[in-house]
Amino acid sequence: MKIRVFPPSVAIGLLACVVSAPATTVFVQGRPLSEAQKLAGDSTPNPGPLATDVSGKIKSKDIRYAMKKVADWQIQHSEAKFDQDWTYAPLYVGLIATSTTTGDAKYSDTVVHSVGEKFEWKLLDKRFPHADDQALGQAYEELYLQKKDPVRIADTKAILDRMLTLKDSPDKDVWWWCDALFMAPPALAKLSAITGDRQYLDVLDREWDLTTAHLYDPAERLYFRDKSFLDRKEANGAKLFWGRGNGWVLAGLARTLAVMPKDYPAREKYVKLFRDMSDRVAGLQQSDGLWHTGLLDQSAYKLPEISGSAFFTYAMTWGVNNGILDRKKYVPVIERAWAGMQKHIYADGRLGSIQPIGAAPGAFDESTSYVYGVGAYLLAGSEIDKLAGKKK
């Protein structure tokens, strides 16, 4: 049997369009791709009926009910498979946000006991400085702020400290794929806020600039997934920009700005980027309130995609709540997006229409559900609940 070993962020991108010969085996984090897939999500031919008890109304009671319904299903479905991989990192911060929003500690406690304690508050550390392996640090940092036990961030800090002396390679950026801008920068920014050490922000700023120089298209105000996409086109001839890839970036920007000091010299650069991307994304919203996997040829993709849509919604709502985005312009976008997402919740709480692990636009089923998409949905709900409070 022929065995091919890919870097994880490349290997997982093959999933949405696997056309390799049957004799080829792809490994991710030392596991066959099929195994990594099973840990993070699935689809089912019999998902049951869609939920009739959830509402798209921007009211706290409705928002919190939907968040808990989805979070409860995900915990029941996945807690035994909780992992240190990047796929789960958005779910963990989403669960923590669910506790903060609803006042029910069980979601945050689940992350404490079934992640922090289970993995001894450690990150994966076999391929430093890979950003995917640093994503879990965001959850550890948030739980540290709840209970300032140094053990909760000791390993995260030790690994991120190594970023301070990292020497860049002229051949390959540290964050060479756009997803990385969600995985590592918020962890660095929050550690800076916790410690008061701005060196973490300086490293973040240097590496973000390199990634942006190579992957950001200022004319389109969107990021290519990685260099291999710079010349790729959609069927309609437009440039190929992946929905969730840009969702990762916009959400990463929001989470970074949330803890970046207002007097940090480079902050306005990130605010401008956030506004530019938000404006572009808002203009690409479809009639159902959501976005498809290929942003500039959305009609070529059958289903709306929840993970990218939820990350966009989370980020834009955060922007409105924090006075960075215009309320009058963006609240209607947010309202349509939230209402659209509710139509993909099943009666048992499964959140569907989430693209599997991948790196490019691709096909999936209506029932397909993955943990990072649920995390994005919960983060969006947490910010929309704040918006609901401001609407009173």
Q: Name the residues annotated as catalytic.
A: 179
- DSSP state for residue 294 in the 8-state scheme: B
CA dihedral (159, 318, 93, 154) positive or negative: positive
Single out the residue of 67, 63, 117, 58 nearest to residue 91, CA to CA: 67
Single out the residue of 36, 97, 37 nearest to residue 70, CA to CA: 97
Evaluate whether 380 touches 310 at the Cβ level (below 8 Å). Answer: yes
- DSSP state for residue 172 in the 8-state scheme: S
Structure tokens that stand for 45 in this block:
């031919």
Distance CA 215, CA 150 (A): 37
Strand 216-217 versus strand 31-32 pairing type: unpaired
- DSSP state for residue 118 in the 8-state scheme: T
Distance CA 85, CA 123 (A): 9
Hey, which residues does 384 pair with through a beta bridge?
Answer: none
Element (DSSP H or E) covering residue 252: helix 243-257
